[in-house]
Structure 1
Amino acid sequence: MNFILMRDHSEQLEFMEIDLSEEAETASIRIPDRSSLVNQSRQPHRPQGAILSSEKRFVEEASRLEEVTGEETASVPFMSYWPTYGVMNDAQLKWYLYWRTEVRQGIYLDVDLSYLFVHVYELINGIGWLQPEDGYHQLKRLWLNYRERLPQFHVYMQEWVVDYVLVHDLHAFLRDVMMLSDGYLPSPLMDKELQQVLQENVAEVTLDMLKWYYDYDVTLNTFYRDGGKEWMERYVPKVMAVMDSYLKRTQQRGLLPELEPKAEQTVKRTLFQKAVYDESIYGRIVTFTHFPLILEREFVERLTRIYRCTENKIREMRGFRGRLRGKTLEPELAGVIERYLDRALAMEQAETVTAPVIQIDTAKLASLQEDSEYVRKALTIEENEASCIS
């Protein structure tokens, strides 16, 4: 749908102009807290005497521009510490609408970070989608397509997309967000995710999820860096599932510790910090509870020892010199892990053995087909004769 764009400059907030040198890179732009901004605007007179905040004014104009499309136009630089439509000139707004039109069609042109933020602000304020799931997927595609080109964008999206998921109760996407964030979630949410996985299906646990609970950084050792990472990602979840099953059979409790209700903590998370966000839409904070698993010392030690035992066994089987040191796992549990890995790796090696090549003699196959046809006809004749006699 095409609209004629008419801008009412008299109702735009004017922001302090910031002189950025030509050498400044877009990726170095930072969005400061609102308290650090100097607002030199004059508020427009409204008949009812009401004064809109900058966030509400942004949402109001975003609603007017929601379905406006843009024709192809020349790219115009845009750098602002608090990017909104109100600090764009006409050429910048035309470029933004053209770029956004292309993005909505799956074309992700190179763009300055400030333009990108404006589009994200639209989405988190409920502009540009009908169902929350659609808004999430739009944010995800922006994140995937620009996080390498604009690394700072990746940092902000790690938090804003989490907020979006919480606001709209899209908890099923949290694991997806964790993978997009290279294994990161805010620690209270990581606790909730790990608790859910250990309660419902331990085999779905991932190394990225577990590594935050080990008492040392497993990514720094030589084996992990020199190819061991793939082995650990493949086998650690399986070993955890085996351990959980074994502990339930022998100790009536799996990997997850007994959680006392009094240990549960309530978290109040401020939404969309450093974004242009109208808190009257979805509120200023979101509240949820979690059990702080990271504080369960025995739980953390057991996970760490299981990991250490697993890596040492794989090191041995792969012929890698050296072993991880530290407190060892109970001999009974270590034996379960070692026996499992012996079988698992033996099966994997057996599957990689090349199967014998089967050659078919086509002449013999044709002969067998003729014999089969002869037998079929003979049986048919016998059946017909038996029918006539009866």
Structure 2
Amino acid sequence: MSDTKEILNIVLNDEKLLNSRAFRERIYSDEPIIRPASQLIKPQVPPQIKEMKGIAFTPEAYWKTSAWLFYTQGKFMENYEDDFQYNKDFVKYYPCYRDLTTEQLRGYFSWRTEVRKGRIQKAPLPYVFIYLYELINCIGANSPAECFDMLKHFCSEYRKIDDTIEKYTDSWLTDFIIYYDLNRSLADDIDDIKHDKAIITLIHWEKYSKSEIFDAIEALSAYRLKKSLYYISESENFREVLVRCFIILSEFFRNKRKKSLCEKLFGCTVECGHHMFSSAIFYDKNSLRNCEYTLNEVHSYSCRNGKWFCKKYYGNRGRNTHLGYIVKAVDSLLREYTDFKYKMGFDGISKNTEKILKNEIEHYFEEKRHNESMKIEIDISKLNSIRTSADKIREKLIIEEEPDIEVKKPTIDITMTEKNSDMLLGKDEYMFICSLLYGVDHKKAAADSGKMVSILADTINEKLFDNFGDTVIEFSGDEPIVIDDYTEELKKMFPMP
């Protein structure tokens, strides 16, 4: 049998052994009669681990920092591999090599060997943090760029196993880019830098699309607008109105106030002291350097005589409460204006801001109604019938010599007008298109009919579309005009009454 405990159990419960004279006459102590080999033989200490442990007792280690000791031991063990099985869990705060037993050290290096081969498995948290400390100290790679890739990959993968490390890793990734002077584009996927970019989008809204502005508002607003019932029901209206409201408020603050809207919402950037790789064991090998590093226009770093400073928007780096008030107000006012089934209240904004939002919402829906009244829909399925109708009209317009028929010029006879309109246009539409064709006051013609100019033009365009396959009246500014290409043909169809 391969199971040691099972073998021991069989031996110690054997009846012949228990009944033997030698067994009954012997006095035993509390020690186990038979012990596993792991309890009899003390595990050997690999020579490299033994030598690594000795570094902590050198004269230099007594006056150097613990960060120096970790870095020195880590570089010494940089390429070490092991295959020792250690399955016990344990806890250590700010763990380093000198805090671990030989078995724990061998267990760590065995786990690290597997990680470097791409097999990332759950491990005691001290192992995870020691590995992270190694990477931020550039232990285990040929260059900082390579080490950053390893650090980013490990953080991304291990978060799926245990998210405990998540509150540290983004700041360490950012610090890594700064300290080792890597390309700032490497920070684009870090949440803190995405926050900066959203603020920049709102500061310079003129340079961005409506979609980008909306995404920035959604990312920064404490009010989760995508959970709104009105947004779910009317997302297109919500998106358009929200962006327009933000723009109109930004313009108001720019023109009427000393501070911009974004300054009111987010404050100003401030420079504060910065502890590089906070909450980690990190050995600063360039402790007296001077340098500058800019991540973006609202987030930069400087090192002066070894002391680091960071300039950015401090305070709440998450979702913004004041922006949330505006978004919620827009949601509430939209529900009220459109008589949405589910109403809700709002607060946190001034009466003047509320007035601006209401005016913009009203203006948006007025524009929408006007645009919809001007919209002409073309049914492609009717193209064949349009061509047939056009052929028939062309045949009717061909004048043949027929001596028995006298062609008379139309008069103001309303009856004649009504006869012509039986086929194509009504009386009001007939008089309106004639006013355009023959230079008569079209506004008076519209007024006499009791209809709006735009309504008459749309109706005529719709009724004549089958004949021309096109719009015959268009607008130049607010004035309707007949398209030149169709003027003569229309005059033949609609002579001046």
Assess same fold via TM > 0.5: yes
Moved more, 198-207 or 85-94: 198-207
1:70 pairs with 2:82: yes
Q: Which has the larger radius of gyration?
A: 2
Give the C-alpha shift of residue 292 in structure 1. 6.5
Aligned to 2:9: none
Give the Cα separation in 2 of the matches to 1:303 and 1:50: 55
- 1:259 CA drift (Å): 7.0
The answer to whether residue 274 in structure 2 is matched with residue 274 in structure 1 is no
Within the alignment, does 1:138 sit opposite 2:142 as a pair? no
- What is the Cα deviation at residue 109 of structure 1? 0.6
Say which structure, 1 or 2, has more relative contact order (CA 8 Å, 6+ apart): 1
- Equivalent position of 1:54 in the other structure: 66
Q: Secondary structure at the match of 1:272?
A: coil
Matched residue SS, 1:287: strand
Which residue of 119, 125, 128 corresponds with 2:140? Answer: 128
Assess, with a 3 A threshold, how the Cα gap between structure 1 residues 272 and 91 changes in structure 2: closer, same or farther: same
Answer yes or no: is the 8 Å Cα contact 2:199–2:216 preserved in 1. Answer: no
Measured in 2, the distance between the counterparts of 1:72 and 1:339 equals 75
1:309 is displaced (CA, Å) by 0.9
- Confirm or deny: 8 A CA contact 1:191 1:293 kept in the other structure: no
1:237-256 matches, within 5 Å, as: 242=244
Match of 1:177 in 2: 190
CA contact (8 A) 1:263 1:291 kept: yes
Distance in 1, matches of 2:216 and 2:49, equals 52
C-alpha distance in 2 between matches for 1:108 and 1:315:
54
1:115 maps onto 2:127 in alignment: yes
Work out the CA distance in 1 between the residues paired with 2:234 and 2:143.
Answer: 38
For residue 73 of structure 1, report the CA deviation from its aligned partner: 3.2
**Cα contact 1:306–1:329 (8 A) shared by 2:** no
Q: Is the 8 A contact 1:236 1:307 kept in 2?
A: no
Greater CA deviation, 267-276 or 299-308? 299-308
Question: In structure 1, what residue type is equivalent to 2:361?
Answer: A
Indicate the residue corresponding to 2:105 in structure 1: 93
SS where residue 197 of structure 1 aligns? Answer: helix
For residue 7 of structure 1, what is the aligned residue in structure 2? 50
Q: Cα RMSD over matched residues?
A: 4.9
Selected match of 1:321 from 342, 346, 349: 342
**Residue 210 of structure 1: which of 205, 214, 220 is its match?**
220
1:334 lines up with 2:377 in the alignment: no
Distance between the aligned counterparts of 2:367 and 2:117, measured in 1?
50
Contact 1:55 1:276 in 2 (8 A): yes
Amino acid at match of 2:50: R
Letter of the aligned partner of 1:104 in structure 2? R
Residue type of the alignment partner of 1:44:
T
Tell which deviates more after alignment, 263-272 or 190-199.
Answer: 190-199
Do the aligned partners of residues 161 and 292 (structure 1) sit closer, same or farther apart at CA in structure 2, a change above 3 Å counting?
closer
| Structure 2 counterpart of 1:106, one-letter code | G
Partner Cα distance (2:175, 2:49) in 1: 33
- CA pair 138-231 structure 1, distance change in 2 beyond 3 A: farther
Give the CA deviation at 1:56.
Answer: 0.6
Are the equivalent residues in 2 in contact too, given 1:83–1:118 (CA < 8 A)?
Answer: yes
Q: Report the secondary structure of 1:271's partner residue.
A: coil
Deviation at 1:210, TM superposition (A): 1.1
Q: Give the drift of 1:265.
A: 2.5
Q: Which residue of 2 aligns with 1:33?
A: none
The answer as to whether partners of 1:73 and 1:98 remain within 8 angstroms in 2 is yes
Partner of 1:159: 171
Take 1:309 and 1:252, find their aligned partners in 2: how far apart are those partners? Answer: 20
Distance 1:293 1:74, change over 3 A: closer
Q: Is the 8 A contact 2:242 2:330 kept in 1?
A: no
Paired amino acid for 1:210 = L
- Quote how far apart the aligned CAs of 1:276 are: 0.9
Counterpart check, 1:308 vs 2:360: no
- Is 1:44 the counterpart of 2:58 in the alignment? yes
* Separation in structure 2 between the aligned mates of residue 61 and residue 234 of structure 1, nearest angstrom: 60
Give 2:197's match in structure 1, choosing from 193, 201, 209: 193
* Residue of structure 2 in register with 1:287 after alignment: 309
Aligned pairs, how many?
290
TM-fit CA distance, 1:149: 4.0
| Post-superposition CA distance 1:28-84 (Å, at most 9, x none) | xxxxxxxxxxxxxxx5324xx973211111111211222333336343434212311
Q: Amino acid of the residue matched to residue 334 of structure 1?
A: I
Matched-pair contact (CA < 8 Å) for 2:241–2:361: no
User: What's 2:479 paired with?
Assistant: none
> What letter is aligned with 1:289?
K
Q: Secondary structure at the match of 2:129?
A: helix
Distance 1:282 1:125 in 2: 14
Amino acid at match of 2:312: H
**Rounded Cα–Cα distance in structure 2 between residues aligned with 1:321 and 1:300:** 23
Amino acid at match of 2:343: G
Aligned residue identity for 2:310: F
Which amino acid in the other structure matches residue 59 of structure 2?
H
The match for 2:379 is: none
Residues 264 and 290 of structure 1 are in contact (CA less than 8 Å); yes or no, is this contact kept in structure 2?
A: yes
Deviation of 1:177 after TM superposition, in Å, equals 1.9
